[in-house]
Amino acid sequence: MSEYQMIINGQKVGSDATFPVINPATEEVAARCPKATEAHLEQAVAAARAAFPAWSARPGAERGAIIHQIGQAIEEHQAELVSLLTLEQGKPGTGFAGMGAAFEIGGTLAWCHAAADLELPVDVIQDNEEARIEVHRKPLGVVGSITPWNFPLMIAIWHVMPALRSGNTVVLKPSEYTPLTTLRFAEIINDLLPPGVFNVVTGDGSLGAAMTNHPDINKIVFTGSTATGKKIMQNASCNLKRLTLELGGNDAAIVLPDVDVAAIAPKVFATAMFNNGQTCAALKRLYVHEDIYEEMCDALVALANSVTTADGSTDPDFGPVQNKAQFAKVCAMADEARASGARFLTGGEPMPGPGYFYPVTIVADIADDTRLVREEPFGPILPVMKFSDVEDALRRANDSPSGLGGSVWSGDPQKAAALASRLECGTAWVNTHAMIQPDAPFGGSKESGIGVEFGRYGLEEYTNIQTVYISKT
């Protein structure tokens, strides 16, 4: 069994205590990871604090060049990282529509190089005979990154690279369910960065809580559940930490009666089941006009029946749900929906044998107050609801505390865009869903988060404004 170590101040560091990392396809221990102590966290934060002055003083172009080197290092180790990601997360190497582990590692490359090229130019708001006024963006200091288990490495890149590009130093804690790929990544790039600039510590939720309470961490960037995000927000008040929180979503899609069902059904299916439904911005509630409701249900069932779910190492379409707790939640939500009278068109029962395997499941005729509709399942299960009036569909779509994303599907994109603009969410899509890119800001409204990621808007989240007033009189 491979041994993994943390990276603190440029050194590999172990711990007397360890925790198991479970392969979700077999329920067997894939590896053991060091469990960080309070002393380890203190060492990591102190190292990041000490490294900050020199790192932030480097020219931005120099930091960008190093981040490009990091991207090159990822590319050189791509095959290794794909295999490791499949082992710990469960996703196939290729997967359905090519959106498996290789897709995630490819995404890390794209976002890494995009972050390297970002700029934060000085904004001159006045320059006359009286004064010159400049607005500068200054790095915050030490950034604490807490990443989830659904896209372990890609989301780490989303957090870490803008932090480094803007001149901050980082202490990262990956999910205890999926720390392996992140630890190996940290080892691969360790020689590219000065000691202390990028540190990785591993442990459970108590370690994350200690980070959010730490007085020498200036910002927390977190991707995960709304409940945890609220706790982070409370803890961050200790020193008024800056926050970027990308939290849970329960994205709704409205399908109007003028669509070509056969043409859009594969896109609807793919954006709902991407990463086995374990995607914050996946389509999770589907509202379909009554004129095409049964046709859409039939098309989704045909797609569900055409895919395979198995051990990701055999490269099926879908792998297991990532962990036991999430698997139990999906099972419970399905059972409650069945008890309430919902119609299960396919799937609906856990698969036999070891592993957290749940088949792709389509559920029709389900009430809006059912838990499967009200809450985010974060698994391969999609409720499909019928509507007759588009204003009613819009009201039902917006009737949620979540507001990450939403979409409208129509043969008339202009009409769809007008309706999509009325969705209460951070990103509104037309005739697609869950599509993101490195230069377009992404973030949630309502209880789906605070702040945005990606592009210049996301980069600015890692900085404070400093206004410089130069008198000429």
Q: How many Cβ atoms from other residues are within 10 Å of residue 192's Cβ?
A: 14
Please give the structure tokens belonging to residue 231: 């706790």
- Asked about 280 being catalytic, the answer comes back as yes
Q: 45 with 200: CB under 8 angstroms?
A: no
Q: How many Cβ atoms from other residues are within 10 Å of residue 106's Cβ?
A: 16
Residue from 33, 88, 104, 280 carrying the catalytic annotation: 280
The amino acid that residue 42 corresponds to is E
DSSP per-residue letters across 322-391: SSHHHHHHHHHHHHHHHHTT-EEEE--SPPSSSS-----EEEES--TTSHHHHS---SSEEEEEEES-HH
Q: 436 with 455: CB under 8 angstroms?
A: no
3-class state of residue 406 by DSSP: strand
Residue from 88, 104, 176, 246 carrying the catalytic annotation: 246
For the chain, give the number of residues. 473
- Asked about 331 being catalytic, the answer comes back as no
**Torsion angle in degrees (nearest 10) through CA of 275, 278, 282, 285:** 130
Residues 39, 48: Cα–Cα separation, whole Å: 14
Give the torsion sign (CA, 287, 290, 292, 294). positive
Q: 318 with 95: CB under 8 angstroms?
A: yes
The amino acid that residue 181 corresponds to is T
**What residues act catalytically?**
246, 280
